[in-house]
Chains A and B, each alone.
Chain A
Amino acid sequence: MIERIIKALKNNPKVNAWRILETKSKSSELFFVSKRLETTRATDLDAFKVTVYTDFDGFRGSATMPVETYMSDADLKGVVEEALYRASFVKDKYYDLVAPVSAKLVNIKSNMEEHSLQECANIVADAVFKADNVDKGSLSATEIFVYDKEYRVVNSCGVDYSFHKYSGMLEFIPNWVGEKEEVELYRNIRFGAIDPADITARVSEALVAAKDRSIAVHLPKEVKKCKVLLAGNDVGQLFSFFVSQLDYATVFQQMSLFKLGESCQGDKVLGDKINITLTPYVAECVASRPVDTDGVVLHEIKLIDKGIPLQYAGASRWGQYLGVKEPTGSLPLIVVAPGSKSIAEMEKEPYIECVAYSGLQVDPFSDYIGGEVRLGYYFDGKKRYPITGFSIGGSLKEAIKNMHLSKETRKDARMVHPTHVEIEGMDII
Chain B
Amino acid sequence: MGYAKFLEERKPLAKQLVLELRKKFDYVSILGTFVDGVAITTNRATTSVGEPMLAERGFVIRVYNGLGYAEYSCNDLAKDPVAFAAKIEKVVTLSPSLSAKMTKIVQMKDEPHVEKFNRPDTGKEYTAQEIVAFCSAKKDEILKQDPLIVNAMVQVSQIKVSKMFITEHKELEQFYTWTNATFVCVMQEDGKMSFERVGNQNDNMEKTLREVSGRVEELVTITKKVLHAKHVVPGVYDVITHPSATGLIAHEAFGHGVEMDMFVKNRSKARGYIGKYVASPIVSMRDGAKAFPSVGSYFFDDDGVIGQDTLIIKDGILQTGISDYLSALELGTEPTGNGRRESFKRKAYTRMTNTFFLPGKDKLEDMIKSIKHGYMLFETNNGMEDPKNWNIQCVVEYGIEIKDGKLTDNYISPVVMSGYVPDLLKSISMISSDLEVYGSGFCGKGYKEWVRVSDGGPYLKARVKLG
Contacts and interface: CB of A to CB of B under 8 A. Distances in A.
B467 A89 contact: no
Interface in B89-131: 91-92, 94-95, 97-98, 101-103, 105, 128-129
A89 B193 contact: no
A361 B414 contact: yes
A393 B467 CA distance: 6
A44 to B, nearest CB: 5
Given A253-B151, A358-B386, A44 B73 contact: yes
Interface stretch (A117-125, A236-244, A284-292, A416-424): A117-125
B51 A89 contact: no
B408 interface: no
Given A253-B45, A366-B194, A391 B98 contact: no
A105 interface: no
A183 B416 contact: no
B320 interface: no
Nearest to B150: A254
A358 B393 contact: yes
A427 B50 CA distance: 44
Interface of B: 36, 38, 43-51, 55, 57-58, 68-76, 91-92, 94-95, 97-98, 101-103, 105, 128-129, 132-133, 150-151, 186, 188, 191-195, 226, 229, 231, 234-235, 264-267, 326, 330, 345, 347, 382-384, 386, 388-389, 391-393, 395, 413-414, 416, 418, 420, 446-448, 465, 467
Contacts of B98: 30, 37, 40, 118, 121-122, 125
A283 interface: no
A266 to B, nearest CB: 10
Given A45-B73, A173-B267, A364 B45 contact: no
Interface in A34-63: 34-47, 61-63
Contact of B266 (A34, A38, A39, A372): A34
B239 to A, nearest CB: 15
Contacts of B58: 45
Interface in A70-117: 70, 85-87, 89-93
A140 interface: yes
Given A69-B76, A87-B49, A366 B229 contact: yes
A46 B68 contact: no
B213 to A, nearest CB: 19
Interface string A336-372: 0000000000000000000000110101111110111
A384 B98 CA distance: 42
A90 B47 contact: yes
Interface of A: 29-47, 61-66, 68-70, 85-87, 89-93, 118-119, 121-122, 125, 140-141, 171, 173, 175, 181-184, 186, 188, 213, 252-255, 257, 321, 358-359, 361, 363-368, 370-372, 374, 388-389, 391-393, 395, 427, 429
Contacts of B392: 358, 372
A42 B87 CA distance: 12
Contacts of A391: 234, 393, 416, 418, 465, 467
Nearest to B192: A367
